[in-house]
Each structure stands twice: as C-alpha cells, then as structure tokens.
Amino acid sequence: MWLCSKAIARATAIVFIANLHLIAGQQIPEEPTPSLADTLTLSINPPNEALNAFFPPSILNVQTPLAIRYALFFAVVQYELFAACDATALSFFGRKDSIPNRFCSDRDTRSVIQAHMTYRLLDSEFPIDAKSPEQFLSRLGLNPLNRSTDTSTPLGWANVVANRFIQYFVTDNWNSQGDLSKTDFRQQYQDYTGYSPVNPSHVRPRDLQFPLRWQPLTGAVDRRGLFGSQVHVVPQIGVRGKPLALSREEFEQRQAPPLYHTPNRRRSLSRKDRVLARNLLRKLFQRSANLTEDKISLGFFWENKFISLGIFALYYQNLLGISDDVMAPLFLAEMMAQHDAALVAWKEKRRNDNVRPVTLVRRLLTGTRVHALKGLKDGVGIVKAEEWEPVVPIQPHSEYPSASAVICTASLENLRIYLDTVVLKGNETIPPFEFDVVPGFAPNSPIQRTTKVVFSTPEEAARSCGESRLDSGVHFEPSVPAGHRLGKGIGKAAFAHVMELVQGRVPKNCERCFDY
C-alpha cells in the first residue's frame, strides 16, 4: 500500500534502535539509503517528504466533501494498479487492463506509476495543491509533465489510465473545472444548480423570514479585521453527483424525516416548533456545560476527516499485518463508502435546509444568559447567549442531518465488514482501536496534552464521531441518529461493490463501468 504503515513501523524501529545505541554509548549505524519506492511511500510517523508533498498545508483544512474527493483519488489509483497486476480483479471501470509484467514485479516501477497517476489526477482536480507533488517528483527526476501514451513505458501506461480517470471525474457533476457554471473566469467546484439560501447572511436572526431554515453565518476570516459570510459548499453534489456504489434508486430512497413540524413557516415558529426548539437548546447547553478537555480534543479529532477516518485503516494494517494487495480493495471500498455517504448527506442537507444552533440561539435567547463553556481559559460559566460560540468552527452548510454521522457510519461499517470477512475471516474479534492524539496532531485543536482514544469496536467509533458534533455545539441532538440511519448500509454496499470487481465481475449498478 502506498500510504503504508510498514513505513510507520520501520521509522518507529529506527528511533527505538537509535535510543538503545545512545543509552549504551555506542555509535549509531548509518541508515541504508532509501530506495525510490521508500522515498515515494507516504509515512505519517514521522512525516516524510512524500507525505508533505502530497498532503501540503493548503489541502489539510479543505471542506469534508472535498477532503473525501481528494483521498478518493489516492484510493482509485492504488486499486487500479493492484487490479492491473492481479490475475482476476477488474479495474475501477470494470475492465481488465493489460500491463507489462515487469511493471508489476519491480517495486520502484510500481511506486513511480502510482505516484504519477495520482499527480495527474490531483493536477486536474486540485491544481493549486498539486504544485507541491509536482515539485517533489521533479526533484526525484521523474518528469511529472510527461504526457506520453506509450504503454510500453511506465509513465506512458500511467498516463493512459490517468487520462481515463480525468475524463470521468471532470464529468461527474462536481463541477471540478468550473465549466458548468462559467465560460470564462471559472471557479472550481462552484454551484451551477441555482441554489440560494432563503435567509440572507446580513439579516439579524430575530428578523429572519424563515427562522427554521439555514442562514449563512458571518465571522472573522483572518482575525485581523476581515470578515466574511458563508457560501454553501458544493450544494450541487446532493442533486447532481454520481454515486459510486449505491444505485440511483438506493441513493434517492435514503431520506431523513423532517425535524420541525412547519419548517417553512414565515416570521415566527409554531407553538410545537417553539417547544421543540427550546428543548433542543436546553440539551445543547447541558452538553456545553459538561464539556471536558477530552471531549474537546475528540471534537477536533473527528472534525478533520483526513486525520480521523484516515487513521483507522492504517492502524489495522499495521496491527494485523495486512498486505498491500489486501489493503488496496479495502481503501477503495472505504473511500467509495465515504463518497456516497457525503452525497446522501448533502442531498438531505439541501432538502431539509435547517437552521444551525447558533442562529436559533441568537433568535430565541438574545438578552438572556446561559451556563456554558466560555473557553479553555475561562472554563464553564455564565455567558451572554448571543455571544456564545461552538467549540469547533461551524461548517458552511445547513444543520440537518449530521454529515459526520452519515460518513463515519458508512466508512466504519465498511471497515468492520472488510476486517471480519477478508482479513480475520470470522475467526477472531476485531481488536480495539487505540490511539494517542498528541498536541498539534488535530489541526486547530487548543488542547495541549495527549488524549488517549480507545474504541472497542468500529461501531463505537462511529457513535463517538456523531456525539462529538453534539458536544462541539454544531448540531442539535436529532441530527446525529438521523445521520447514523442514513449511513447504515452504505459501507456494506461499497464492500459488496468492490468485492465484485476483485472477483472479476462487473457490479450490476456500476454506471461508470458501462460508460468508460
């Protein structure tokens, strides 16, 4: 596996051996010169040049659906090379591609092909962030700008396959090139479906035309006097996006029940909705008043899907000694599950379009004081309701359902099924997940001590993911169980879909398999 935990174990062993030599007063032996494959293999402990190149700072705080899309490209490329070198497996597009045997048998060549294909996809879809891997590959003498289609050469073969991926992803309705919304001065991933929030950002919460519908928030951009208002991120994917594992019918059937009785009522809340809203706010502040440093740390851990969900497969690969060829289908199934879960969540967010807690607080509780967390420095205390803020930043999309609950449920369901079925084969119980969240690991986390994270099962981890959104104050309580229900079954569908490909069969609902 390119995102390889073998590199993690190797780096850990080197540090351990070095410490032993220092204690004994001996000279530390020189580390062997890494191979090209070693140099191209991403390592997270410690972070190496490849990791820093392919995950530059510019991408680390990207919005969740785009983080999923970015990671998906690594998964499809890794799987594509596995399938080409495997005797039975079909490609991402349900094809059986030919590849020279020498490309498969040489580890350096495989790593070069994989790195080049990944760069080509990133350059097409995330060109700003692709500058970093382009410079990295150039320093290694690998010529990332090579566009040969001579399949007898490693880069030529990589380009032919990469071109197929690029053709698919630029036409999958995410508007990654901005061509669906503009002819000139294009903006990548811009909405082209005419979505517009019913509540403008500049109107005071108490004056909203539709008080139970989403209002874009206004806040500091740079903490130096620049303020800005939110624009709903990629609202188009919920109505135009193409599911990868779910059929269109299965995708459309997944719906969250309405949260409010009369969500489109103008100017005021109905009696039932006012009672419901005040009950939701009471529970919101109960959680805020009972926050601990561990819960805050978990909130930031789960906030960044690169950091949180990205750790699980690597952890179990290292713990269980899973081979790279077994990991490639797992990684693809995981990212397909996350992709379809994001589309489902965005479809339901757009359909329900519900108000965020902070807006409802400022409508119903302005002028009152609440018992809540004021910050790490001041702890829990009395704060003006209209000044209260959630623990983590509020994302630029509507409140209901919780996208994190949908995505974590789907991803961790796939992980459980894959480990149970393919790795452990029903003979053992999946070991607990244990991880130390050290200061600085989760971006923007204010916690300055190590937090021990332990989950007995993947299901427990998914529940923690959802609960963290409630503790952080960005969702009302019903959003999380609604998200878990929407996500349930998506991981199973992604697993079944990928297993069909691995076993040489075209999945029946694989639209892309018949088009490419």
User: Which CATH number describes the domain made up of 205-231+243-249+292-355+391-504?
Assistant: 1.10.606.20
* pLDDT exceeds cutoff 50 at 228: yes
Question: pLDDT band at 31, cuts 50/70/90?
Answer: low
Alpha helices in 260-323 (DSSP H): 271-289, 293-303, 309-320
In this prediction, residues 48-70 reach a mean pLDDT of 95
pLDDT at 222: 86
Report field, pTM of the whole predicted structure over 0.85: yes
Query: What's the pLDDT score for residue 312?
Result: 94
Specify the DSSP class assigned to residue 453: E
Degrees to nearest 5, angle at CA 318 with 314 and 321: 125
> What contacts 193, CB < 8 A, 6 or more positions away?
235, 236, 239, 240
Can you read off the two tokens belonging to residue 138?
């150039």
Confidence band for 12, pLDDT divided at 50, 70 and 90: very low
Tell me which H or E stretch contains 436: strand 433-437
Confidence of residue 30 (pLDDT cuts 50, 70, 90): low
Extract long-range pairs of 246-253: CB within 8 Å, 24+ residues apart: 246/340, 246/344, 246/490, 246/493, 246/509, 247/509, 248/511, 250/493, 250/509, 251/340, 251/343, 251/344, 251/347
pLDDT tens digits, one per residue of 308-325: 998 999 899 999 999 999
- Give the residue carrying structure tokens 């952080």: 472
Q: Which helix (H) or strand (E) holds 452?
A: strand 451-455
pLDDT value at position 10? 39
pLDDT-derived band at 5, boundaries 50, 70, 90: very low
- What stretch(es) of the chain map to CATH 1.10.606.20? 205-231+243-249+292-355+391-504
Structure tokens at 201: 């950002």
Check whether 402 has a pLDDT greater than 90: yes
What lies within 8 Å, CB to CB, of 77 at 6+ separation is 114, 117, 118, 121, 162, 165
Q: Quick check: 289 pLDDT over 60? A: yes
Token couple for 238: 């919920």
Q: What confidence tens digit (pLDDT) does each residue in 97-109 have?
A: 999 999 999 999 9
> Quick check: 490 and 416 in contact, CB under 8 A?
no
Rounded (5°) CA angle 300-301-305: 105
Query: In 10 A of CB 173, how many CB atoms?
Result: 14
Q: Are 451 and 436 in contact (CB under 8 A)?
A: yes
DSSP-based three-state secondary structure for 245:
coil
3-class SS string, 346-406: HHHHHHHCECCHHHHHHHHCCCCEEEEECCCCCCEEEEEHHHCCCCCCCCCCCCCCCHHHH
pLDDT above 90 (res 434): yes
The predicted structure's pLDDT at residue 159: 98
3-state secondary structure of 428: coil
Per-residue pLDDT reduced to its tens digit, 140-180 = 999 999 999 999 999 999 999 999 999 999 999 999 999 99
Q: What percent of the chain has pLDDT over 70?
A: 94
